[in-house]
Structures are given as C-alpha cells and as structure tokens.
Amino acid sequence: CQANDAWDTWPYGLNGNQSKITPYARKDVIANKTYVVDRFLNRHISYALALLDVGAGDTHCPARWQGGNHLDRGSQFILQYANASSFYLQGKFPPKHTLDYIANVSHQDYAMYSANQSIQRLFYDDLLVRYPNLTNTTNPGDRKKKPKGTKAFATPAHEKVAIGLLAGSFGLVFLIFTALPIIFTADHVKNIDTSWDAQSYLSSESRRMLVDRKW
C-alpha cells in the first residue's frame, strides 16, 4: 500500500480529486478550502472514541494510512491538532471541541450514545447558554447575485401594447357573444321539422315493435 493523492481525497481528505466531494459542500471546498476548515474548527464539536473499537473497518489503502482500526484512526485525527504547521491553533486543541474516551464499548452506537460522557455532551453542556444568532450565513461557494435591473419587456411601450391586446381580446369576446343570439334566431334557421310529436312517435314505435314480434 503506497501513499499517493488518494490518501487525502474525499472521503479521506479535502485535497486530490475534489470532484468526489459531497455535492452540497463541493463548491465551498473548491472556492476556499481554508475557510471550510476554519469554520469546522470554530464549531462546537464533541469527539467520542470507544476504547474497544479495534475493528479494522475500512481496509482501503487511504484508510490504512490514517490508522489500523477505528480507535487508531480517531486517535490519529486528534493528534493531528498538535501539528502546528497545519492549523492556526499553534498545536492547541480547538477550544470549542471536546474529546471523551468511552470504556467497555466497541463499535456499538447505542452503547456510545447511552454513555454518561455522551449524555453530558448532548444534553447538559451549555444547556443554559444562549448563543448569538448567526449573522453571516454565506458560503465561499455561493453564486453571486446579479443586481436587479429593468427587464427588457417592462418598458412603457410594451406595457401599452399588452394593455391594448388584453382590452381588444375582451372587446372581441363581448361582440361575439352579443352577435350570436342575433345571428342564430328561429327566423334564420331553416328546414326545421316542427311537426314532430313525442307521443305520436312513441305510439308508432310501439306498434312497429308489436308487428316485429308477430313475425
């Protein structure tokens, strides 16, 4: 297993082929990776590592370069904060992050969440602390909004044409429905048989049916 760009390519890192990064964050990383890392370092993050979580897990080369098992990789990640050349923290652990090692637990989600340390981090830490509202919700990968200008079809001339077409349409519909009763009156309809009588028709049809049955 040899080191190459894959060891720092997503999901193992933020460099290398950045087109593999999750779509919702890809533009931010490509636009300003340092900003994304700094944003992570300034968030409230709680790490919890199980002391019995020694399963290999991911066995790909990039994962093996980061550690031999789950616990090893998690510990190596924490130790990276001591690398003063990588972060502006100068070798210090991020002040808004916490780290807990959970005893007698392996790779088990329910045991991790029910541990006293996890409950403390999830429900009690900063319980009565009111953090200020976010004022900056922009991201480095956001598209710049173009200033709103006058639309090409919203000129006075176009508005007059639109109003004229609308008024003309209403006027045409009114004229058509006004003229229809005048054009199609009884005096103008020819060849209408007014001698038809429903009762006579029923009587003749009944007689015809009786004759057909006899035959």
CA distance 46 to 50: 13
Q: Report the sign of the C-alpha dihedral through residues 98, 101, 102, 106, in that order.
A: positive
Residue 146 lies in a domain: no
Paired strand residues for 98 = 46
* 213 pLDDT above the threshold of 70: no
Is residue 65 within 8 A of residue 7, CB to CB? The reply is yes
**pLDDT tens digits, residue range 168-187?**
898 888 888 888 777 776 55
Asked if residue 113 and residue 61 are part of one domain, the reply reads yes
Q: How large is the average pLDDT for residues 189-204?
A: 61
Residue 44 lies in a domain: yes
- Which stretches within the chain are classed as H helix? 23-31, 33-41, 61-66, 70-79, 109-113, 116-119, 156-183, 198-214
Domain that holds residue 32: 5-124
What pLDDT is attached to residue 149?
66
Asked if residue 166 and residue 109 are part of one domain, the reply reads no
pTM for the whole structure: 0.61
What pLDDT is attached to residue 102?
96
Is residue 104 within 8 A of residue 51, CB to CB? The reply is yes
CA distance 96 to 142: 26
**pLDDT tens digits, residue range 71-109?**
999 999 999 888 766 667 888 899 999 999 999 999 999
Domain boundary among 102, 124, 146: 124
Output the six-digit token pair for 22. 């999750």
What pLDDT is attached to residue 3?
59
Asked if residue 62 and residue 117 are part of one domain, the reply reads yes
As for how many domains the chain has, the answer is 2
Residue 132 lies in a domain: no
The residue among 33 and 16 whose pLDDT is bigger is: 33
**pLDDT tens digits, residue range 29-77?**
999 998 998 889 889 999 999 999 999 999 988 888 889 999 999 999 9
Residue 171 lies in a domain: yes
Residue 137 lies in a domain: no
- CA 193 from chain centre, in angstroms, equals 68
Residue 131 lies in a domain: no
Paired strand residues for 196 = none
Q: How large is the average pLDDT for residues 9-13?
A: 88
**pLDDT tens digits, residue range 103-134?**
999 999 999 999 999 999 999 998 888 888 88
What pLDDT is attached to residue 214?
54
Residue 190 lies in a domain: yes
